[in-house]
Amino acid sequence: EQVNISQIVRDVIRSLSTAYQREIKFYHETEQDITISADRSKMHQALYILVDNACKYSEDTVIVRMQDIQDQLAIDVIDKGEGLSEAEQQHIFDRFYRVDKARSRKAGGTGLGLAICHGIVQLHGGKVHIESQMNQGSTFTITLPK
């Protein structure tokens, strides 16, 4: 199925900015909307998980950026929240892994979100990558073949 991934990102942003009453900026750094071959609802779910976490584990504006990098599509989800240590980053995509902090316990959840996101992106031939610093924030990047 050919899907407009730019539109999926806009839909995810619209519903989560309403739910969290949060500013979520979208920098669409390509001239036109991008269409890829993908499962629409799975792709929506993968993006929803990342943007939902960014809202859940931070308090400021969340940024989503979409770029063309050679023949790849890169989607960054950037938050200025609590961040993750190197050790935590190692386990972040494992099923049921949750960082043992009062904050994440309070936020609720099962620790399945990122494992599901990772699985969906892999199914589409892509990758999920994390860059994070404690108390500075996190950037989760999905790269997908176009």
Q: Are 43 and 50 in contact (CB under 8 A)?
A: no
- Residues contacting 14, CB < 8 A, separation 6+: none
Query: In this chain, which of 46, 48, 79, 128 binds ligand ATP, going by CB under 6 A?
Result: 79
Q: Which stretch binds ligand ATP (CB under 6 A): 3-11, 17-25, 66-74, 97-105?
A: 97-105
CB of residue 107 vs ligand ATP: minimum separation in angstroms? 7
* Partners of residue 128 on adjacent β-strands: 142
82 scored as a contact of ligand ATP (CB under 6 A): yes
DSSP E strand boundaries for the chain:
2-4, 24-28, 35-37, 62-69, 72-79, 127-133, 137-145
Q: How far is the CB of 121 from ligand ATP (least distance, A)?
A: 13
Q: Which of 84, 121, 128, 142 binds ligand ATP (CB under 6 A)?
A: 84
Residue tagged 């609590």 (tokens)? 82
Asked whether the CA dihedral 132, 21, 98, 27 is positive or negative, the reply is: negative
Rounded CA separation 38/17 (Å): 24
Q: Which is nearer to ligand ATP, 6 or 58 (CB)?
A: 58
Based on the shown chain and the rule CB under 6 A, indicate whether residue 54 belongs to the binding site for ligand ATP.
Answer: yes
98 binding ligand ATP? (CB under 6 A): yes
> In this complex, which beta carbon is closest to ligand ATP, that of residue 76 or of residue 79?
79
Which one of the spans 13-21, 33-41, 63-71, 103-111 is the region binding ligand ATP (CB under 6 A)? 103-111
Beta bridge partners of 141: 76, 129
Would you tell me which residues interact with ligand ATP (CB under 6 A)? 49, 53-54, 57, 79, 81-84, 92, 97-99, 104, 109-115, 138
